[in-house]
């Protein structure tokens, strides 16, 4: 969820600041880019050096980087615009009041006013301060600005008193932010099954029949679906690609038969199935148990047909929105329509080998999207990442129709 996101962590001066070292670790582990801005009082509780080391970026407290070097400064506007999301934790009563009033007497509050991204704040203070109408007023004002509160919890406080005012634990802050980011995503709660890559059909222990599919299109689809909130199962033939995403489970297979079994195993609960794999149509009838020696002048391999995975899923489908791919060289639309009907699909993505830059290898693709109601939409040549967005967008439009 947070992989590749730019997170700006603002730390203010409360004892809970010591927990932010763990928070930074969790953000980095989640694949986020992290920058830290601290108030001066926060730096008494937690060292900027520790935060800089953990975040792999300077942890800054002031506008001026070095005394006397006026041109070299921490630009609050750049920092605010860099952030995909800002988290202020702990948020003290003092800083929340400044945020509510638009007071920019320190770098952190100036960055806050410059940030256009979602801003989360995790209040932390003693219970009487927390209950005070002034604090309530600040919180209400921040909520009215659209800022998102990560609620304080109840428990033992640094003063020894017991009550509300403890900053949420770092794990809970992470879970809260992830959950928030997921909400409102169009595929949240949806299960998506994708097949990708080639299949290898063994001839003997060292040889196989394969094809040039790189798997890129299927992997981009998996990543985009997960970024849109879906739980994704990616059944992948052999590729050089890897994916690490909280919402993606990769199942590695080699042969068409293994892909068939994995796809069927995960099909029933899924809402959307996209068949992007270049499945071998045939496999050797027998697989030699030992390496075949080059004794004869001619070698004939007898091939038998593999089961069509997509067709078999089409025959089994209940609620699933089923999408296939077609790679055509002639009578493109007609052939694609034929496949759509024969395999009981809801839509098919046509790649034409007549288009430069479309197809197996490379990073680009040019597609036409056809649905079962004969709606046809042709797209320009785009990166496979952008093609994946177009495909999922077309699917989402139809799911919501
Ligand atoms: N497909 C599959 N299992 C197979 C063969 C194909 O799931 N054994 C899926 C592909 O992932 C793709 C679509 O079916 O989504 C493409 O079918 P394709 O192989 O192009 O068409 P066919 O119907 O097999 O016809 P032809 O090869 O004659 O073009």
Q: Where are the alpha helices (DSSP H) in 73-201?
A: 76-82, 93-101, 107-114, 127-131, 133-144, 170-182
**Whole-model pTM?**
0.78
Pick the atom of ligand 1 nearest to 306's CA. 8
Q: What is the rounded CA–CA span in Å between residue 1 and residue 246?
A: 7
State the average pLDDT over residues 31-38.
96
Q: Which CATH superfamily is domain 6-182 in?
A: Flavin prenyltransferase-like (3.40.50.1950)
What is the domain partition of the chain in residue ranges? 6-182, 191-399
Ligand 1 centroid – CA 325 distance (Å): 7
pLDDT level of residue 63 (50, 70, 90 thresholds): confident
Phi, psi of 87 (to 5 degrees): -125, 120
Domain 191-399 CATH assignment equals 3.40.50.10300: yes
Q: What is the rounded CA–CA span in Å between residue 73 and residue 63?
A: 5
Pairing status of strand 6-11 against strand 85-91: parallel
Cα torsion angle, 315, 320, 321, 322, sign: negative
Q: Is the pLDDT of residue 245 over 90?
A: no
Q: Is the pLDDT of residue 7 over 80?
A: yes
Please check whether the two domains, 6-182 and 191-399, share a CATH topology: yes
Q: What is the rounded CA–CA span in Å between residue 156 and residue 139?
A: 22
pLDDT level of residue 76 (50, 70, 90 thresholds): confident
Q: What is the rounded CA–CA span in Å between residue 113 and residue 108?
A: 9
Phi, psi of 328 (to 5 degrees): -125, 155
State the average pLDDT over residues 272-277.
98
Tell whether residue 305 is among the known ligand binding residues: no
- The predicted-structure confidence for 144-166, as pLDDT tens digits, reads as follows 999 999 999 988 888 888 888 89
Supply the DSSP symbol for 237.
-
Average pLDDT, the chain: 93
pLDDT of the residue at 66: 61
Pick the atom of ligand 1 nearest to 276's CA. 11
Enumerate residues 6+ apart whose C-beta is below 8 A from 298.
none
Q: Is 208 in the pocket of ligand 1 (CB under 6 A)?
A: no
Tally of helices (H runs) and strands (E runs) in the chain: 14, 22
Substitution site in 281, 303, 333, 336 for ligand 1 pocket (most atoms within 8 Å of beta carbon): 281
For residue 238, the SS3 value is coil
pLDDT level of residue 68 (50, 70, 90 thresholds): low
């Amino acid at each position: 969820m947070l992989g590749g996101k730019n997170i700006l962590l603002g730390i203010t001066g409360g004892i809970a600041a010591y927990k932010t070292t763990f928070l930074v670790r969790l953000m980095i582990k989640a694949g986020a880019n992290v920058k830290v801005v601290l108030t001066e009082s926060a730096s008494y509780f937690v060292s900027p050096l520790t935060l800089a080391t953990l975040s792999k970026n300077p942890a800054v407290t002031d506008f001026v980087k070095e005394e006397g070097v006026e041109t070299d400064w921490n630009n609050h506007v750049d920092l605010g615009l860099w952030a995909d999301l800002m988290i202020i934790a702990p948020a003290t009563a003092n800083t929340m009041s400044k945020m509510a009033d638009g007071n920019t007497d320190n770098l952190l509050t100036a960055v806050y006013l410059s940030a256009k991204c979602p801003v989360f704040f995790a209040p932390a203070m003693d219970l009487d301060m927390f209950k005070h109408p002034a604090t309530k007023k600040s919180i209400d004002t921040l909520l009215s600005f659209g800022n998102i509160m990560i609620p304080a919890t109840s428990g033992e406080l640094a003063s020894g008193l017991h009550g509300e005012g403890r900053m949420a634990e770092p794990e809970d802050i992470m879970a809260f932010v992830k959950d928030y980011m997921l909400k409102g995503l169009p595929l949240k709660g949806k299960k998506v099954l994708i097949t990708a890559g080639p299949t290898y059909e063994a001839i003997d222990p060292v040889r196989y029949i394969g094809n040039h599919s790189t798997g890129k299109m299927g992997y981009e689809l998996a990543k985009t679906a997960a970024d849109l909130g879906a739980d994704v199962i990616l059944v992948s033939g052999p590729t050089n690609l890897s994916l690490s995403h909280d919402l993606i489970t990769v199942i590695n297979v080699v042969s068409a038969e293994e892909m068939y079994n994995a796809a069927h195993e995960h099909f029933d609960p899924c809402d959307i199935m996209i068949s992007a794999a270049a499945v071998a149509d045939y496999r050797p009838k027998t697989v030699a148990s030992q390496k075949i020696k080059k004794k004869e002048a001619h070698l004939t391999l007898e091939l038998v047909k593999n089961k069509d995975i997509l067709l078999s899923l089409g025959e089994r489908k209940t609620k699933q929105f089923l999408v296939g791919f077609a790679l055509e060289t002639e009578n493109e639309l007609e052939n694609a329509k034929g496949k759509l009907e024969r395999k009981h699909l809801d839509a098919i993505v046509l790649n034409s080998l007549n288009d430069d830059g479309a197809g197996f290898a490379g990073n680009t693709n040019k597609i036409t999207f056809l649905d079962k109601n004969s709606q046809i939409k042709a797209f320009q040549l785009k990166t496979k990442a952008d093609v994946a967005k177009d495909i999922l967008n077309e699917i989402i439009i139809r799911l919501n129709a």
